[in-house]
Structure 1
Amino acid sequence: MLTARRRAVASAAGALAGALLLASCGGTNNSGSSDPKTLRLWHYEGPTSAMGVAWAEAIKEFEAQHPGVKVKFEEKSFEQIQKTAPMVLNSSDAPDLMEYNKGNATAGLLSKQGLLTDLSAEAAERGWDKLLSPGVRTTSQYDDNGVMGSGKWYGVPDYAEYTMVYFNKDLFAKYGLAEPKTFDDLVTAMDTFVAHDVTPLANSGAEYLAQQYLYQLALSKADRSWVDSYELYRGKTDFHDAAWTYAAETFADWVKKGYLGEKSSGTKAEEAGVSFIRGKAPILFSGSWWYGRFQAEATTFDWGTTLWPGSDLTLGSGGNLWVVPKSAGNKELAYDFIDITLSKKIQNLLGNKGGVPVAADPAAITDPKAKELIANFNTLSGRDGLAFYPDWPVPGFYDVLVSETQKLLTGSEKPDAYLDALQKAYDKGVPQR
């Protein structure tokens, strides 16, 4: 969610909304200051999200399998972990297990700094290396430079994620619009909404949504080698190439046309998501991490999803990682918890609550919308369409993307200057190989 899951960063909707960070301590004492009766676990998923629900059940399962050991938690946000993880993990306050964003700029950087435990032996012994598909486990492994895709295992995802177009079927029907199956359909819909004084796209310029719109526009003109050059340094990245230029110019044009509100430059992801939940925004392009929440809360209208039309590539990857800090005091318990989150029981629950499981029993997924979500992911995965996130390549790039994309939203910067700024920050951060 990105480093911004989101999901940079992101990662995750509930997280960016100020969701839960679970903290606890556990069983075998190695080096941290740990209570052997508590597993210290941090995660930042919202309690109503698919992952939040599944991991709450995993905690119950863990405690049932480990009599006398408890899991404690304290509330933190995605942004807090994003900014403080290196400092916390270099102290005696490090948890035994934590969720952390995947990619070179985040988990890769921590692995390079020696702050994470090498999980390679556990991955082989417990079968995690065989359970996860190649596309999903790309973000689990990092080389000595902290570059993903090869080397030692430093993290384990137990779900996958990808971006899609969420659209309000009732609003589309109100204005006589069909589901956007082609890019022209999408543009026609946005023009129609603007003509009726409705801003088509929910957006958050202060966080990850805006940069993900722009990256998706670039991906629609890109291929796998382009992605590998940008994300894995397997070639030269030129921010003035055809794909990036198209993306920046189109994004700026969309602002002028009213597809993206200028005032959204200061909006957070939570506000954008809520605008869709309340039926005010016809379209939101974002990740599967919203899916479970929309199922639970967007109940006053009919809505659907589709992959970004006219593009084989979209933002996505294995989900955020379970990482074990180097200084964790209860590593065996941490490994046991990871096992539980990968069990069929928890994976099936995650799938039925609107997540994208990596090890579920397909026959156990019964919810119609969940089936659609997983089918779209399988389509995307089958065509090698997971293109990671724009903020991943270099440390600090998430903040650069936020601030520079805000300037495009307000019109204070032209596309050429925007691309110049990205090139400078990217080149400064690319490791020497």
Structure 2
Amino acid sequence: MLKAAKLGLVGILIVVLLAACGSNSTSDGSTNKSTEKITLTIWNNWSGQDAKAVAMRKILEDFQAENPNITLEIEALATDGLKTRLRTAAAADEMPDLFVMWPGAMTKEFVQGDLLQPINEFLDQNAEWKNNFIENALVDFTVEDNIYSVPMNLAPSSLLYYNEDLFKQYNVKVPTTWDELLQAVDTFNANNIIPIALGNKANWVAQSTTFSTIGDRVTGTEWFLKAVDQNGASFTDPEFIEALKLYQELGEAKAYQEGFNSIDENQMLQLYTQGKAAMVINGGWAVAGLVNTASEEILNATNITILPTVDGGKGAAKTTAGVVGTGLGVNKKLSGAKKDAAMKLFYALAGPDGQKATLESSTLISYNLELDPSKANPLFIKLTELMKETKIVPVYDSKLSSAAVEAINNGLQELLLGGDPEDIAKRIQAAQAGAVN
């Protein structure tokens, strides 16, 4: 009888333990409560000293401390280095467990390469989080009804930062038209001030921060999307060549400092923060860097606007190129406890707390959270107000194929040094046509 009672007690304990194991879901959508030792690799572009990078590194540190059974192997690279590394890893099918990736073209290419797994089920388990993203925020991470990531920021890529003190000192009007921009360039050159700082060593900078918006100003968004699809438009069309010629005018006017193709984005910002340049064209992400590295004098003198209009252009005026923001890709090969651990980290970085940390790091987000002006840097408040009245149009490298992106990035480096616009247009067209066909 006693033996039977003991066996019954053991059976009850087993049932209780099994029930406990079966009900270990958490508020973060993760089901990982295991003490199993797990190693996760994560590649990111949070390598700098900007406020966004600092905030994300803090989340990674806290996650590691709170989850001693999960070891994070973190690799942080500059944006251009990360993009190159990811494409190399993709070609070899050796992707890390989690990685920062870009919406649009990169997401689609990785899905086509069978490298990503969708996160629909995870999002549905956390519906309040899923439904709090801004309208259309998930579109460029969606392929054939499967969602592969969520945006961790909002990235207008083409904004004009300018030093109001220098503009007042030399009696220069803040440019709202192309002619006014060229006049400003002439005046600053005449006074030995760099008109616009540019760091195009990583050749995406000119395309993403400047030409994508100029191209849209001239051709309009509808034409560009047709050219991307190679359906009713070609990059050898007159309007695109006109856009290239217009951008070339900045090179001919010496809008940029000498050697602009030999310095990077960080060095570009340094020219501005040192007071050597009157303007710099960069994305909304630049604010997070400026608030952490610029002097109080430069910060107080800095204002933000959009690029000037183009007379006769087909594009809308109050627009800037950009994307909803980078996301985290999840390796297709993950399963079981390792996948659970990866999704727990995903939620820590991209969930509500991660979105809040990003907003508080002077970085725009694609998530519905109110900014607290009492905690925000004045420059970030200016950016927030500007984006309330500015529409985002596609940045070229979010829509074009990898081959066409390489063609346009290399072509713009040549263009600013006197390259032939028509020849550059032919190369871009050939690359995109080859990819589509």
Q: Shorter-chain TM-score: what band? A: 0.7 to 0.9
TM superposition score normalised by structure 2? 0.80
Q: Is the 1:229–1:237 contact (alpha carbons within 8 Å) kept by the matching residues of 2?
A: yes
The change in CA–CA distance for 1:404 and 1:94 in structure 2 (over 3 A counts) is closer
Structure 2 residue matching 1:134: 3-state secondary structure: coil
Structure 1 residue matching 2:196: 3-state secondary structure: coil
Q: Is the 1:116–1:324 contact (alpha carbons within 8 Å) kept by the matching residues of 2?
A: yes
Answer yes or no: is 1:422 the counterpart of 2:428: yes
Match of 1:375 in 2: 385
Matched ranges for 1:232-243 at <5 A? 233=229, 235-243=231-239
Q: Is the 2:306–2:318 contact (alpha carbons within 8 Å) kept by the matching residues of 1?
A: no
CA deviations over 1:154-193 (Å, ceiling 9, x no partner): 2221211102101122221221124334444433322211
CA deviations over 1:174-225 (Å, ceiling 9, x no partner): 2112433444443332221122233312123332222232222111123332
Answer yes or no: is 1:400 the counterpart of 2:407: yes
> 315, 327, 332: which one pairs with 1:326?
332
Match of 1:304 in 2: 303
CA deviations over 1:45-74 (Å, ceiling 9, x no partner): 234224312312322443465454343423
The change in CA–CA distance for 1:340 and 1:399 in structure 2 (over 3 A counts) is same
- 1:376 & 1:234 partners in 2: Cα distance? 34
Matched ranges for 1:37-48 at <5 A? 37-48=38-49
Structure 2 spans left out of the alignment, 5+ residues: 1-29, 310-316
- 1:37 & 1:265 partners in 2: Cα distance? 43
Deviation at 1:92, TM superposition (A): 8.5
Which amino acid in the other structure matches residue 168 of structure 2?
A: A
Match of 1:166 in 2: 161
Which amino acid in the other structure matches residue 157 of structure 1?
A: P
- 1:116 & 1:198 partners in 2: Cα distance? 48
Q: Is the 1:95–1:328 contact (alpha carbons within 8 Å) kept by the matching residues of 2?
A: no
- 1:130 & 1:112 partners in 2: Cα distance? 27
- 2:133 & 2:37 partners in 1: Cα distance? 31
Identical aligned residues as a percent: 18
Structure 2 residue matching 1:362: 3-state secondary structure: coil
Q: Is the 1:27–1:69 contact (alpha carbons within 8 Å) kept by the matching residues of 2?
A: no
Structure 2 residue matching 1:131: 3-state secondary structure: coil
- 1:227 & 1:122 partners in 2: Cα distance? 34
Structure 1 spans left out of the alignment, 5+ residues: 1-25, 30-34, 144-150
RMSD across aligned positions (CA): 2.8
The change in CA–CA distance for 1:322 and 1:171 in structure 2 (over 3 A counts) is same
Q: Is the 1:205–1:402 contact (alpha carbons within 8 Å) kept by the matching residues of 2?
A: no
Q: Is the 1:43–1:98 contact (alpha carbons within 8 Å) kept by the matching residues of 2?
A: yes
The change in CA–CA distance for 1:370 and 1:263 in structure 2 (over 3 A counts) is closer
- 2:270 & 2:215 partners in 1: Cα distance? 27
Matched ranges for 1:73-84 at <5 A? 73-84=74-85
Structure 1 residue matching 2:394: 3-state secondary structure: coil
Match of 2:265 in 1: 269
- 1:181 & 1:361 partners in 2: Cα distance? 31
The change in CA–CA distance for 1:75 and 1:217 in structure 2 (over 3 A counts) is closer
Deviation at 1:129, TM superposition (A): 4.1
Q: Is the 1:352–1:370 contact (alpha carbons within 8 Å) kept by the matching residues of 2?
A: no
The change in CA–CA distance for 1:182 and 1:406 in structure 2 (over 3 A counts) is closer
Q: Is the 1:217–1:246 contact (alpha carbons within 8 Å) kept by the matching residues of 2?
A: no
Q: Is the 1:27–1:36 contact (alpha carbons within 8 Å) kept by the matching residues of 2?
A: no
- 2:226 & 2:187 partners in 1: Cα distance? 37
CA deviations over 1:364-403 (Å, ceiling 9, x no partner): 353132222222223224xxx3323346411233322222
Q: Is the 2:321–2:395 contact (alpha carbons within 8 Å) kept by the matching residues of 1?
A: yes
- 1:28 & 1:400 partners in 2: Cα distance? 45
Answer yes or no: is 1:252 the counterpart of 2:253: no
- 1:238 & 1:230 partners in 2: Cα distance? 5
Deviation at 1:420, TM superposition (A): 1.5
- 2:170 & 2:263 partners in 1: Cα distance? 27
- 2:294 & 2:174 partners in 1: Cα distance? 18
Aligned length: 388
Structure 1 residue matching 2:267: 3-state secondary structure: helix
Which amino acid in the other structure matches residue 321 of structure 2?
A: L
- 1:352 & 1:188 partners in 2: Cα distance? 37
Match of 2:275 in 1: 279
CA deviations over 1:268-313 (Å, ceiling 9, x no partner): 3232222122221211111112111111112142211112232333
Q: Is the 2:404–2:429 contact (alpha carbons within 8 Å) kept by the matching residues of 1?
A: no
Which amino acid in the other structure matches residue 216 of structure 2?
A: L
Structure 2 residue matching 1:180: 3-state secondary structure: coil
The change in CA–CA distance for 1:109 and 1:278 in structure 2 (over 3 A counts) is same
Deviation at 1:407, TM superposition (A): 1.5
Structure 1 residue matching 2:292: 3-state secondary structure: helix
TM superposition score normalised by structure 1? 0.80
Report the more deviating stretch, 233-242 or 205-214. 233-242
Matched ranges for 1:355-366 at <5 A? 355-359=363-367, 361-365=369-373, 366=375
Which amino acid in the other structure matches residue 180 of structure 1?
A: P
